[in-house]
Amino acid sequence: MQIPETLKKKAEEFVFRYPEDKRQSALIPLLFEVQRELGWITPESEVWVAETLGVSAIKVREIITFYSMMRAEPSGKYLIQFCQNISCCLMGGVELQRHIEEKLGLHPGETSKDGLFTLKCVECLGGCSWGPMLLVNEDQYFQLTTEKVDRIINGLRAGEPVPADNPTPLLGNVAGEKVS
């Protein structure tokens, strides 16, 4: 497998952010960029990252296994990360999780056969005042209801994604209210 030129350029850019002899610091940013570009951290790219930054292979492995957002296997086109922590649970997250599982036909950790969705349940996404929340790849969605979840998933299936909640609203369930 060839490492894309864009990725090599990124590596140079990242290394520049840290003192000359501290290239290891670019590990997480570069691995992130690899999975952004390739969808996951392939064994070949893992070796390439180690060589590029001049660190041992085991150091790269440590990072991949320690950090929960590092993906050492392929995932679906849309990675859905659903928050299952206290604030979201208080706002109906437990029931909603069941609904999402049924809607996608997936248990947490599974990928759909058509390769479209991977479902992951995660601990706290920092959207506590606007829970329940989830991420679809890099897009954030707040104040979820079963209807909103259906709209999001149907939209992805139809190739017409529901616009993300960017930026985060200022208030919780009084969505759209202006600050006076």
User: Which positions touch other proteins (CB under 8 A)?
Assistant: 17-19, 22, 24-29, 31-32, 53, 55, 59, 62-63, 66-70, 81, 84-87, 89-91, 122-131, 135, 138-140, 164, 166-168, 170-174, 178-180
Q: Is 80 exposed, middle or buried (0-12, 13-18, 19+ CB in 10 A)?
A: buried
In the complex with other proteins, the residue whose CB is nearer, 157 or 175, is: 175
The answer to whether residues 27 and 49 touch, using CB atoms and an 8 Å cutoff, is yes
Q: How far is the CB of 103 from other proteins (least distance, A)?
A: 22
Minimum CB separation of residue 109 from other proteins in Å reads 13
CB of 113 to other proteins, least distance (A): 26
Q: Return the number of the residue (57 or 114) whose C-beta is nearest other proteins.
A: 57
Chain Cα centroid distance, residue 150: 20
CA distances from 10 to 27, 28, 36, 124, 138 (A): 12, 13, 12, 29, 19
The region that residue 82 occupies, defined by phi over 0 for left and psi between -120 and 50 for alpha, beta otherwise, is beta
3-state secondary structure of 121: strand
Residues 18, 19, 20, 25, CA torsion sign:
negative
54/105 with CB nearer other proteins: 54
Q: Which is nearer to other proteins, 13 or 113 (CB)?
A: 13
Task: Please say which residue, 3 or 88, places its beta carbon nearer to other proteins.
Answer: 88
